[in-house]
Amino acid sequence: MNCTRIETWLPLYASSDLPALQLAQVRAHLAQCESCAASAEEFVAAHEWLRHVAAPQFDEAFYADLRYAVRQELASQPVRSMWLRLLWLKPCAVAAAVLLLAIFSLRLFQTKGVPRSDIVKTLTSPQQPDAARAPMPLTNQLAQTQKAVMTPRRIVRQRVRAVPQAETAPAEIVASAEPAPAPNTAEPEMLRIEMQTADPNIRIIWLTPKTTNASVDVSAGSLTR
Amino acid sequence: MAGRGLELALMPNYFSDEAEADIDLHAALIRRAQAGERAAFDQLMEMHQQRVVTLAWRLLGTREDARDAAQEAFLRVFRHLHKYDARYEFNGWLYRIVVNVCRDMLRQRGRHGGLSLDEAAVAQLASDDDSEADALAAQERAWLQCALAELSEKERAAIVLRDLEGLPTEEVARLLGSSATTVRSQISAARQKLKAFRARHLKSRK
């Protein structure tokens, strides 16, 4: 072990801060190297000098003055310190308040996300009289918006229920070849075809002008024109 | 009792000579002070004032700075006492506050780690004491401050906590927010400088 390496370890050797292996290497080197041994002694002496310099003694008046100053400072800001303590003691409450505010804002944004013009368009069809297009109160609009959303499904179901429910076979052509009643004799005679889907509540009704070359193969379940 | 055992197990052994009753009394004082009892906090101040002032003096170098630092440290202790975890040693927590206060003061005053003591102040300090023994002790302390003034801020904090306060290297690293390897390096550099200072000091005496 050379002296340069040992010298880097000597400052920590003075206070036994070296790991056991390095400590043993330093001791072995110092036993045979006078120069390093002298340097090690100086490190130990400096370390001992540092440790044995007595701490300063301050009198009781010094400490009393210190305590008084601290008490005065604390007394001058009681409210601030109380608020700070409350804030630090209740981080969960603050976090919960922020979370509630965020949820409330999100819900408010979602409610306002439906444009009012769309609501009015949905609720007032072109066939309605002008009186029906007049703006209505927001609560009524919201209530009817829900109805409007539900309307297509309800209409389909109501129409389907109006048809006799005798047929239940899936995707089955249940009626054909009977002319649909024509409200106006000037119009061509219409062919009415009804198809029952797998859903017993859904029936497809097809009206088409009756032509001579149209034929329906009911038994095969297919339609050819 | 299991909690008590955990508390004692986590405590570094700063007070090996203190009775367990004193530790109980100290823990009770902290709990009362945490509950906002000013009288308990006053008692805590009295118990720790010498330790705090001495550490601040070693880090800052003058009596006035040490007093200012101790005052600020106790104010911070009061404000943050509710965050103190009783499973850990109170002195370690207190040391960290004092070290941080002293660092802040050094930075605010633009000293960049240098102490304000010079050789004229050493002579003045020595002459303020009455007896010859006191004068010699004061002179030694003044030389110590001169020696510490040659160190950087980090080196001084490391050497003061390790050699003068007697804390283990790992605890010094924890207090300074550094690694044990870095602290050993700082201590090593500080001892090199102190050795050189002492050699010059002894040479000038002859």
| Sign of the alpha-carbon dihedral angle for B126, B70, A51, B27 | positive
* B156 and A CB contact within 8 Å: no
pLDDT in tens, B8-19: 344 445 545 556
Distance, in Å, from the CA atom of B157 to the CA atom of B55, rounded to the nearest integer, reads 10
Q: Residue B67's closest chain A neighbor by CA? A: A66
Helix/strand/coil for A108? helix
ipTM of the complex: 0.76
Cβ-nearest to B45 among A67, A81, A84: A67
Specify the pLDDT at position A186: 59
pLDDT of residue B53: 94
CA distance A171 to B147: 101
Positions in chain B whose pLDDT score sits under 70: 1-20, 111-130, 205-206
Residue among B63, B82, B144 minimizing CB distance to A53 = B144
Q: Per-block average pLDDT, block size 10, for chain A (225 residues)?
A: 86 86 91 92 88 81 93 75 57 82 86 53 46 50 50 44 46 48 61 83 83 51 45
In terms of residues, how long is chain A? 225
Q: Give the model's pLDDT for residue B78.
A: 93
**Summary mean pLDDT of chain B:** 81
Contact B151, B159 (CB under 8 A): yes
Say what the pLDDT of residue B75 is.
95
Whether chain B has a CB inside 8 Å of the CB on A154: the answer is no
Judged by CB atoms closer than 8 Å, whether chains meet at A43 and B195 is answered as yes
Overall residue count recorded for chain B in this entry: 206
